[in-house]
Amino acid sequence: AQKVTQAQTEISVVEKEDVTLDCVYETRDTTYYLFWYKQPPSGELVFLIRRNSFDEQNEISGRYSWNFQKSTSSFNFTITASQVVDSAVYFCALSDSNTGNQFYFGTGTSLTVIP
Amino acid sequence: NAGVTQTPKFRILKIGQSMTLQCAQDMNHNYMYWYRQDPGMGLKLIYYSVGAGITDKGEVPNGYNVSRSTTEDFPLRLELAAPSQTSVYFCASSLNRANTEAFFGQGTRLTVV
């Protein structure tokens, strides 16, 4: 069965600190896709990144970086030099080739950046 | 470019009432989804559609119905509203299967009293 675990329910950091949000997934498929979404206080979900299971290269986009490790079934998200605007709920999600008609979401991590 | 548009943004229903949540997308996406978000529970799939005329149940379909008569529209119908349906509802679309990113509407906050 597919499952996404975000063990960190809430995290608070002081502005300019680095923070890593953890995501652990379960799937029996060899082909699958992982996503991160951001939900700011305004409520909408904003797509951040997609990764397929064959591409284990880490990715950096500005202050954001993602570490994909198949060996530990993890797809962690790091924000460097956090800013108040990073305060949001972050969701990790999974889809795979067997059940490619839906996304399985984790329960989300609420990040608060304190000025 | 409007993306995914949901209406209404907020609604209060009395127990037993019915309503339709509207969702429209202008990206010519084949796949559309309805999710509900409850506190601390992430998003759960209610129904999805792979194209006009084709719908299927997700994880939590009871108490809901959908239709997809056009590519653009995917309304969600609540019949006989119950307090357990108090939630935030999100409509989303993706170009193809859920291996491409989904675009979400702004959500509908529904309270059943």
pLDDT digits (tens, 9 = 90+) for A2-38: 899 999 999 999 999 999 999 999 998 888 999 999 9
- CB under 8 Å to B61, separation ≥6 — which residues? B46, B47
Instruction: List the one residue out of A91, A102, A77, A48 whose CA is nearest residue B40.
Output: A91
Number of Cβ pairs < 8 A linking chain A and chain B: 61
CA distances from B87 to A65, A101, B11, B84, B108 (A): 32, 22, 11, 8, 8
H or E element, residue A114: strand A109-114
Verify whether the Cβ–Cβ distance B45 to A45 is below 8 Å.
Answer: no
- Mean pLDDT, to the nearest integer, of B33-52? 92
What integer pLDDT is reported at residue B85 of this predicted model?
A: 97
SS3 string, chain A, reads CCEEECCCCEEEEECCCCEEECCEEECCCCCEEEEEEEECCCCCCEEEEEEECCCCCCEEECCEEEEEEHHHCEEEEEECCCCHHHCEEEEEEEEECCCCCCCEECCCEEEEEEC
What integer pLDDT is reported at residue B4 of this predicted model?
A: 95
What integer pLDDT is reported at residue A100 of this predicted model?
A: 67
- Mean pLDDT, to the nearest integer, of B48-56? 94
Phi-psi region of B83 (alpha: psi -120 to 50; beta: other; left: phi over 0): alpha
What integer pLDDT is reported at residue B67 of this predicted model?
A: 96
What are the tens digits of pLDDT across the range A44-94? Answer: 999 999 998 988 888 888 999 999 999 999 999 999 999 999 999 999 999
What integer pLDDT is reported at residue A58 of this predicted model?
A: 84
What is the maximum alpha-carbon separation in chain B?
38
Verify whether the Cβ–Cβ distance B106 to A43 is below 8 Å.
Answer: yes
Verify whether the Cβ–Cβ distance A91 to B43 is below 8 Å.
Answer: yes
- pLDDT: which is higher, A97 or B30: B30
What integer pLDDT is reported at residue A79 of this predicted model?
A: 96
Residue A99 pLDDT exceeds 70: no
pLDDT category of residue B41 using cuts at 50, 70 and 90: confident
- Mean pLDDT, to the nearest integer, of B75-85? 95
Tokens describing residue A83: 């800013």
Nearest by CB to A50, from B43, B50, B101: name it: B101
By CA distance, what is B95's nearest residue in A? A101
Residue A40 pLDDT exceeds 80: yes
Nearest by CB to A45, from B31, B90, B100: name it: B90
Pairing of strands A74-79, B19-25: unpaired
Verify whether the Cβ–Cβ distance B102 to A47 is below 8 Å.
Answer: yes
Quickly tell me which residue has 């990206």 as its tokens. Answer: B27
What integer pLDDT is reported at residue A15 of this predicted model?
A: 97
Nearest by CB to B98, from A9, A37, A101: name it: A101
What integer pLDDT is reported at residue A55 of this predicted model?
A: 85
Question: Considering only CB atoms, which residues of chain A are within 8 Å of chain B?
Answer: 4, 9, 33, 35, 37, 42-47, 50, 52, 91, 95, 97, 100-103, 105-108
* CA torsion, ordered B87, A7, A87, A85, to nearest 10 deg: -120
By CA distance, what is A50's nearest residue in B? B101
- pLDDT: which is higher, B66 or A60: B66
Q: What are phi and psi of A87, to 5 degrees?
A: -60, 120
> Which DSSP symbol is given to A103?
P
CA A16 to CA B89: how far, in whole Å?
34
Nearest by CB to A105, from B43, B56, B101: name it: B43
- Chain B contacts of A100, Cβ < 8 Å? 97-99
Residue A101 pLDDT exceeds 80: no
pLDDT category of residue B100 using cuts at 50, 70 and 90: confident
Pairing of strands B103-104, B108-112: unpaired
pLDDT category of residue B1 using cuts at 50, 70 and 90: low
